[in-house]
């Protein structure tokens, strides 16, 4: 996927400014947009649009769904559904081109333990 060129902010002031646009920053921006609609202006500031050195890009993409706390299980299940359906969810924002493929491949998770 081509690296987006630098784009200057279109306004001089925003209701919400998020510093860092990797998984947490982008997700926060997306969900705030969903929650607040067009009523709030949100700016994501990212210093490296290639994301090459972000933890998100360096991650091994292992997503564990076993936890002792049910809330953590739910959070993880929610996250994995978002990642699985990412391209479809983003499609409305990409009118003339396919939405980005995250390249996520599920290979399972191996636990080694004693009897």
Ligand X SMILES: Cc1cc2nc3c(=O)[nH]c(=O)nc-3n(C[C@H](O)[C@H](O)[C@H](O)COP(=O)(O)OP(=O)(O)OC[C@H]3O[C@@H](n4cnc5c(N)ncnc54)[C@H](O)[C@@H]3O)c2cc1C
Min dist CB 103 to ligand X, Å, is 14
Tell me the two tokens of residue 27: 């997700």
Residue placing its CB nearer to ligand X in the complex, 36 or 62? 62
Tell me which residues in 24-53 interact with ligand X (CB under 6 A): 24-25, 45-48, 51
| Residue 56 backbone dihedrals phi, psi, to 5 degrees | -60, -45
Give kind and range of the element (H or E) at residue 18: strand 16-19
Per rule CB under 6 A, count of chain residues that contact ligand X: 21
Q: Determine, following the binding rule CB under 6 A, whether residue 18 of this chain makes contact with ligand X.
A: no
Cα 44 to Cα 85: distance, rounded to the nearest angstrom:
22
Q: Determine, following the binding rule CB under 6 A, whether residue 23 of this chain makes contact with ligand X.
A: yes
Bridge partner residues of 44 (DSSP) = 18
Q: Determine, following the binding rule CB under 6 A, whether residue 19 of this chain makes contact with ligand X.
A: yes
Residue placing its CB nearer to ligand X in the complex, 95 or 107? 107
Q: Determine, following the binding rule CB under 6 A, whether residue 87 of this chain makes contact with ligand X.
A: no
Residue placing its CB nearer to ligand X in the complex, 52 or 96? 52
Specify whether the backbone of 65 is left (phi greater than 0), alpha (psi in -120 to 50) or beta: alpha
């Amino acid at each position: 996927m081509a690296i987006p060129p630098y784009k200057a902010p279109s306004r001089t002031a925003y209701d919400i400014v998020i510093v860092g646009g990797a998984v947490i920053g982008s997700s926060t921006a997306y969900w705030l947009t969903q929650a607040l609609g067009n009523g709030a202006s949100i700016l994501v500031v990212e210093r490296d649009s290639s994301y090459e050195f972000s933890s998100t890009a360096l991650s091994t993409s292992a997503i564990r769904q076993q936890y002792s706390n049910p809330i953590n299980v739910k959070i993880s299940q929610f996250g994995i559904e978002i990642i699985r359906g990412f391209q479809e969810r983003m499609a409305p924002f990409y009118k003339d081109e396919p939405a980005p493929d995250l390249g996520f491949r599920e290979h399972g998770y191996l636990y080694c333990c004693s009897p």
